[in-house]
Amino acid sequence: MGINSEIYLIGLAVLFFLIIVFLFIRKVSNASELKVKIESIPDPLEAIEKDNNLKEEISENLFESSDNQELACFYLISVDKSMFDIDQIFGFLSNYGAKIKNKYFAFSDSNGTEKFRIINALNPGTFENDTKTFAIVVVADLSVTTDPLITVKKMIEFCNDFSEKFHASLCDEERTPITKQMISHIESKAQDIERINQLKRTES
């Protein structure tokens, strides 16, 4: 009986000791726990999403005021969202025939009339020597271009060449990749605008 009591007491002592050790280790662990602040990594496209009014800004600030503007916009966005090499961008645009004007690039016809322009997709929409951007916008006001359909075709040709050179995705105003059907729709719209412009010129 005495031996059983001793075993029982030893068992209780061991259990009590284990409980104390457990509580001590838990306290030390909690005290030394790393306070790591996990911050969500922002999606680079959110920088463009925040500029949902960019089209309105283009309309108000980059083109002369008009009640009948017909803007055609194409976004070129880096496939992996990495920043473009701005020096390569400047060189490519210059070799392509674009001229810098008011901190954006413009393509003009032989008469000097602007066909379309290239702006930074991130605010404030301009290009500087130290500009960092992963997206640009190719934009034209088809209501004032001489040949809306030809302008759209030239814009798409430029976009395809730029996409190949800089590994960029061609997207619409909603940053959705453009399909052949969407391009056909834009070209049809350009044709309609061209017909309307011709009628206006005939009437005048």
pTM over 0.75: no
User: Chunked in runs of 10, what are the mean pLDDT values of the chain (204 residues)?
Assistant: 64 72 57 36 52 51 62 94 95 95 92 92 91 95 91 96 96 92 95 87 72
Query: How many Å apart are CA 151 and CA 109, to the nearest integer?
Result: 10
Q: What percent of the chain is helix, strand and coil (3-state, nearest 5)?
A: 50, 15, 35
Query: How many Å apart are CA 127 and CA 122, to the nearest integer?
Result: 10
Our CA angle for 191, 68, 53, nearest 5°, is 105
